[in-house]
Amino acid sequence: MNANAKPSKMAVEARNGKRARITIVAPCFNEAETVDLFVETIAKTLSGADFDYDLLFIDDGSRDATRDRLTAIAQEESNVRMIALSRNFGKESALTAGLDAANGDAVVVIDVDLQDPPELILDFVRKWREGYDIVYAAREDRTSDTTAKRATAGGFYRLFNKISSTQIPENAGDYRLMDRRVVETVKLLPERSRFMKGLFAWVGFKSIGVPYVRPARVAGETKFNFWKLWNFALDGIIGFSTAPLRIWMYIGAVIAVLSALYATYIVAETLIFGRDTPGYPSLMVSILFFGSVQMVSVGVLGEYIARLFAEVKQRPIYVIDEVVGDAADGDAPSGLTP
Ligand code: UDP
Ligand code: MG
- Determine the distance separating the centroid of ligand 1 and the alpha carbon of 149, expressed in angstroms: 15
Task: Report the percent of the chain where pLDDT is more than 70.
Answer: 92
Is 142 a residue whose pLDDT tops 90?
no
Is 263 a residue whose pLDDT tops 80?
yes
| Domain segments of the chain as ranges | 9-223+316-329, 243-313
Rg of the Cα atoms in the chain: 25
Average pLDDT over residues 251-277: 85
CATH number listed for the domain at residues 9-223+316-329 = 3.90.550.10
Task: Check if the beta carbon of residue 318 is closer than 8 Å to that of residue 96.
Answer: yes
Cα atoms found within 13 Å of the Cα of residue 195, Cβ hemisphere only: 22
Q: In the structure, what pLDDT confidence band is assigned to residue 7 with cuts at 50, 70 and 90?
A: low
Buried/exposed 319-334: b ≥16 CB within 10 Å, e otherwise: bbeebbbebbeeeebe
Does residue 270 or residue 67 have the better pLDDT?
67
Alpha helix stretches (DSSP H) within 86-204: 91-101, 120-129, 147-163, 180-187, 196-202
- The whole-model pTM stands at 0.78
Is 297 a residue whose pLDDT tops 90?
no
User: Kind and range of the H or E element at 209?
Assistant: strand 207-212
Give, in degrees to the nearest 5, the angle at Cα 323 between 187 and 33: 95
Q: For residue 31, give the ligand nearest its CA.
A: 1
Q: How high does pLDDT run on average in the chain?
A: 86
Question: What tens digit of pLDDT does each residue of 155-171 get?
Answer: 888 898 989 888 888 88
Give the pLDDT score at 267.
86
Atom 13 of ligand 1 has which residue's CA nearest to it? 111
- Determine the distance separating the centroid of ligand 1 and the alpha carbon of 194, expressed in angstroms: 15
Is 327 a residue whose pLDDT tops 70?
no
Q: Flag the least confident range among 2-16, 196-210, 278-292.
A: 2-16
Residue closest to 68 by CA, chosen among 322, 335, 333: 322
Question: What tens digit of pLDDT does each residue of 172-228 get?
Answer: 889 999 999 999 999 999 888 889 888 999 998 989 999 888 888 777 788 888 888
89 CA: nearest ligand 1 atom = 8
Residues with CB under 6 A from ligand 1: 27-29, 31, 60, 88, 90-91, 94, 111-113, 115, 222-224
User: Kind and range of the H or E element at 106?
Assistant: strand 106-109
Give the pLDDT score at 154.
85
Give the pLDDT score at 338.
42
Does residue 234 or residue 333 have the better pLDDT?
234
- DSSP for 5-60, please give it: SPPPHHHHHHHHHS--EEEEEEEESS-TTTHHHHHHHHHHHHTT-SSEEEEEEEE-
- Determine the distance separating the centroid of ligand 2 and the alpha carbon of 306, expressed in angstroms: 29
d(CA 7, CA 131): 5
- Determine the distance separating the centroid of ligand 1 and the alpha carbon of 28, expressed in angstroms: 7
Average pLDDT over residues 252-273: 87
28 CA: nearest ligand 1 atom = 11
Phi, psi dihedral angles at 3 (to 5 degrees): -80, -20
Give the pLDDT score at 69.
93
Give the pLDDT score at 259.
86
Q: For residue 27, give the ligand nearest its CA.
A: 1
User: Kind and range of the H or E element at 282?
Assistant: helix 280-313
Question: What tens digit of pLDDT does each residue of 40-77 get?
Answer: 999 999 998 889 999 999 999 999 999 999 999 999 98
